Amino acid sequence: MSRRQEGLTDEKVRKVAVGATVAGVLLVLFLIVILIVQFVQIGVANAQSRRLDEEIAKYEQMIEEGEGDLDFYQSGLGLYYLALGRGWQTPSNK
């Protein structure tokens, strides 16, 4: 009975210290893994954002170039060339 009343012995203190150390190391490793996963997700999001920005710029350029084509094909001369390209023949070519 005297052993129970002694409280914390050196062996118990060492076991508690080892347990606390292991728990601390596991916590740090877990936090490092979470940090790495977050960095990877940020990198993927940035790459996707850059890709989308490039596509937006490409489509904006296509729209600007298409506006000139639209103006041309809405004019009489543009409609004439479009009709010729589709196989229409002028009365003088028949």
Confidence label for 1 from pLDDT (cuts 50, 70 and 90): very low
Contacts of 8 (CB under 8 A, 6+ apart): 16
Q: What is the mean pLDDT of residues 76-90?
A: 81
Predicted confidence at residue 94, as pLDDT, reads 59
Give residue 80's Cα distance to chain centre.
Answer: 47
Average pLDDT, the chain: 86
The greatest distance separating any two alpha carbons of the chain, rounded to the nearest whole angstrom, comes to 125
> Using one digit for the tens of pLDDT, what is the confidence trace for 11-45?
899 999 999 999 999 999 999 999 999 999 999 99
Whether the pLDDT of residue 4 is over 70: the answer is: no
DSSP 5-28: GG-S-HHHHHHHHHHHHHHHHHHH
Looking at 1-94, list the stretches that DSSP marks H as alpha helix, in order from N- to C-terminal side: 10-74, 76-85
Q: What is the mean pLDDT of residues 65-81?
A: 79
pTM score, whole prediction:
0.55
Confidence label for 50 from pLDDT (cuts 50, 70 and 90): very high
39 vs 30, 49, 51, 84, CA distance in Å? 14, 15, 18, 58
